[in-house]
Amino acid sequence: MFMNTASRIAIVAGGSRGIGRAVASRLAAAGQDVAVVYASNAKEADAAVGEIEAAGSRGIALQADVADEVAVAVAFDTVEERLGPVDVVVNAAGVMALQPTRELDLAQLDRQLRINVRGTFVVARQAARRIRPGGAIVAFSTSVTRLHHPAFGAYAASKGAVEALVPILAKELGGRDVTVNAVAPGPTATELFFDGKSQQDIDRIAGLSPMKRLGTPQDIAEVVAFLAGPGRWVNGQIVFANGGAA
């Protein structure tokens, strides 16, 4: 049965840019009010809220480091006070640094583990405590956990932790009618993806998919909107959204 998602309240961490921003706009288009949680770029977060409001939904922007448990708890408090009880939590916040293992900057490794792993657990902990029955939690992994590209070791390892958490959290929330899934995008045309890559690298990676193109943030947002709305019988899964890249 199709779920009417109007009047639902969503939090999108990492919602000011890239895939997260596309997700925030897509959920707003489905009638959900959306809180955009951002790390530092207030201007982009305000622009994302403008897109949410243009879709006819309520939007707010909240600054928080997803790895800071106090800041995340305050963000959830603020959403509940200003918008209402939370139905959907999407954590698209993440960082990526590409280095071969033998050249790995351990400070970069620590940063990725802090944001991508600790941040996932911090957000998931609050979501598990507060989300209403009928709600959905959507985390983010990456198709690189299966594609095994050189230099992606630290990033893929951090997302492997996300994949380990998702089915366990789904079972922990058993009986509450809350779904927990992760989306694992393939190469997607975002600022995060393009950073540090040559055009030759971009073209080569785009050619890995039978679709012969990069994904778009909107491609990924459609998958998230399904999991955050009508996809009630998908639970504890890692959904690979990569155009068939293998």
If DSSP states are collapsed to H, E and C, what string results for 151-210? Answer: CCHHHHHHHHHHHHHHHHHHHHCCCCCCEEEEEEECCECCHHHHCCCCHHHHHHHHCCCC
Averaged over 69-93, what is the pLDDT? 98
Better-scored residue on pLDDT, 9 or 209 = 9
Report the CATH architecture of 9-239.
Answer: 3-Layer(aba) Sandwich (3.40)
pLDDT at 81 over 70: yes
| Structure confidence at residue 32 (pLDDT) | 97
pLDDT at 3 over 70: no
| Structure confidence at residue 205 (pLDDT) | 86
pLDDT at 79 over 60: yes
| Structure confidence at residue 5 (pLDDT) | 61
pLDDT at 196 over 80: no
Averaged over 147-158, what is the pLDDT? 93
d(CA 182, CA 23): 14
Mean pLDDT is lowest, of 57-66, 133-142, 147-156, 220-229, for: 147-156
| Structure confidence at residue 4 (pLDDT) | 60
| Structure confidence at residue 6 (pLDDT) | 60
Mean pLDDT is lowest, of 129-133, 142-146, 157-161, 207-211, for: 207-211
> Of all helices (H) and strands (E), which one includes residue 146?
helix 144-147
Mean pLDDT is lowest, of 40-44, 67-71, 203-207, for: 203-207
d(CA 25, CA 85): 20
Tens-digit pLDDT profile for residues 57-78: 999 999 999 999 999 999 999 9
Provide the mean pLDDT of the chain: 95
| Structure confidence at residue 56 (pLDDT) | 96
Averaged over 35-42, what is the pLDDT? 97
| Structure confidence at residue 91 (pLDDT) | 98
d(CA 108, CA 154): 9
Averaged over 151-175, what is the pLDDT? 97
| Structure confidence at residue 1 (pLDDT) | 44
Better-scored residue on pLDDT, 3 or 52 = 52
Averaged over 148-169, what is the pLDDT? 96
Averaged over 132-136, what is the pLDDT? 97
| pLDDT confidence band for 138 (50 / 70 / 90) | very high
| Known catalytic residue at 38 | no
Q: Kindly name the residue from 121, 152, 155, 193 that is annotated as catalytic.
A: 155
CB 222 within 8 A of CB 185: no
d(CA 69, CA 172): 20
| Structure confidence at residue 195 (pLDDT) | 81
